[in-house]
Structure 1
Amino acid sequence: MSTRTAVVTGASSGIGEATARELAAQGFHVYVGARRVDRLRRLADEIGGTALELDVTSEDSVRAAVDAIERVDVLVNNAGGAKGMATVAESDLDDWRWMWETNVLGTLRVTKALLPKLIDSGDGIIVTVTSVAALTAYDNGSGYTTAKHAQGVLHRTLRGELLGKPVRLTEIAPGAVETEFSLVRFDGDQERADKVYEGIDPLVAADIAEIIGFVTSRPSHVNLDQIIVKPRDQADAGRFARRA
């Protein structure tokens, strides 16, 4: 295959969908993976890509998806999310398990499975979308911040372990991006999700996708280790300038 290929997880909406569109526009054949197959198929048809039913929390699902991919030049680990905003004292262990399975072990499963193909490409790129929550802690967010810290450390560890191999690694840590993220976090409560972005101009999915496109278009000797991107109205994970 002469066409460069990319795999994007969590591609049925938000940053994943926008990234798939951006990479397709750059000429990549994009494998889009997620659980919502109906959305994936529509997206794949639009961009000339391939839809793969992919649940990153399932070993069998990851194996089946990887077996269907012949070559990989770019992997975008985007699948993840948050559940709830409980204190440590009131933590819901099922929410923690979901966050760790999706953000940490999901990233591990997919990355481990595709590493041989990324190396074989001769110039592989792994982009892992973490969060500013991978860099700091905030009240009522321990389940998500611990998972994102672990995901970030997993990615950063690979940077050293793959030194000398033809694979580059970039971690992108976004702040507030208006997607379905908060809707999932608050179990479908649209009003509560909307309040997260009230009074600010948040980032949108295309902002992150364009950065990923920039990363993948750099010369092979250039490795952008870590990119932190926040809206102008955000200083850190819990500090915003909100307008009335």
Structure 2
Amino acid sequence: MSKIALITGATSGIGEACANLFAQQGYQLILLGRRSERLEKLSTTLTATHAIQVLPLVADVRDKVTLTAVLEGIPTEWKKVDVLVNNAGLSQGLDPIDKGDTDDWDTMIDTNVKGLLYVSKIVSNWMIPFQSGHIINIGSIAGKEVYPNGNVYCATKHAVDALNKGMRIDLLPHHIKVTAINPGMVETEFSLVRFKGDEDRAKKVYQGLLPLMAEDIADAIWFVVSRPAHVNINDMLIMPSAQATATITNKN
């Protein structure tokens, strides 16, 4: 079997863009997501367009028991994963800490931190016997600085930043590369999810500037993955030209 990439959160945004780009490069794909219809449609399209094999897996990274059963239940030949893209993540709400919804906090922590850990533990143990592999953790500018009302989301992405550094150290003896990709503003479903379906509020986030596209981040991920064996990009921060920090933008 050709090289294999496992992508979480594969049904939209950066995950979907990565699936398309890795398929173009001839990778076989394990696509993990919560929305079965989208997953099946994407898998069918990629298989037909690129003549690759796609293994769609329906699971929520927050659900440790189901996630473990689904991943460990795949055929052995699919466990020779070369690249893991830990993309599943989200933000819920934009409130000051004293008015935050604790259910939103749980959702962000369980998805962005615990979900990433669950997947990474399973897949890193698949990689170790082969003494090779590459784990890409999708972080954020929110993991480099904190902005008003971003409190818990920023905390989860700071955790991703720390975990990325810890993984790099722990997996070094096993020749497994580890990289963090930290985007600024990317126009995906991120704001729509954060504002729980409020399309007008989500659209205002990107008005007046040209944000990054999901394909821009996929290109960066492919650049990192395609470096020679002796090169590891530990950390990459990517911003739109119109954004300097999490809160400073040049809007027209």
TM-score, with normalisation over the residues of structure 2? Answer: 0.94
> Are 1:72 and 2:81 counterparts?
yes
Shift of 1:39: 0.5
Shift of 1:185: 0.1
Residue of structure 2 equivalent to 1:203: 212
1:111-138 CA distances to partner (integer Å, 9 max, x unpaired)? Answer: 0011111223432000000100001000
Unaligned runs of at least 5 residues, structure 2: 48-53
> Are 1:229 and 2:244 counterparts?
no
Residue of structure 2 equivalent to 1:37: 36
Residue of structure 1 equivalent to 2:50: none
Unaligned runs of at least 5 residues, structure 1: none
1:43-81 CA distances to partner (integer Å, 9 max, x unpaired)? Answer: 111222221112100112221232214321100000001
Secondary structure at the aligned position of 1:140 is classed as coil
> Are 1:58 and 2:57 counterparts?
no
Shift of 1:224: 0.3
Point out the more displaced range, 165-174 or 58-67.
Answer: 58-67
Describe how 1:138-217 pairs up with structure 2 within 5 A: 138-217=147-226
Shift of 1:141: 0.6
Shift of 1:154: 1.1
In 2, distance between residues paired with 1:231 and 1:92?
30
Residue of structure 1 equivalent to 2:10: 11
Describe how 1:84-99 pairs up with structure 2 within 5 A: 84-99=93-108
1:138-169 CA distances to partner (integer Å, 9 max, x unpaired)? Answer: 01110100111112211211111112212001
RMSD: 1.0
Which of 132, 141, 151 is residue 123 of structure 1 equivalent to? 132
In 1, distance between residues paired with 2:202 and 2:19?
25
In 2, distance between residues paired with 1:97 and 1:154?
18
Q: How many residues align?
A: 242
In 2, distance between residues paired with 1:199 and 1:170?
31
Q: Which has the higher helix share?
A: 2
Residue 65 of structure 1 aligns to which amino acid in structure 2?
V
8 Å contact 1:123–1:220 — kept in the other structure? no
- Structure 1 outlier segments of 4+, above 4 Å: none
In 2, distance between residues paired with 1:21 and 1:123?
23
8 Å contact 1:73–1:121 — kept in the other structure? no
8 Å contact 1:176–1:203 — kept in the other structure? yes
Residue 237 of structure 1 aligns to which amino acid in structure 2?
A
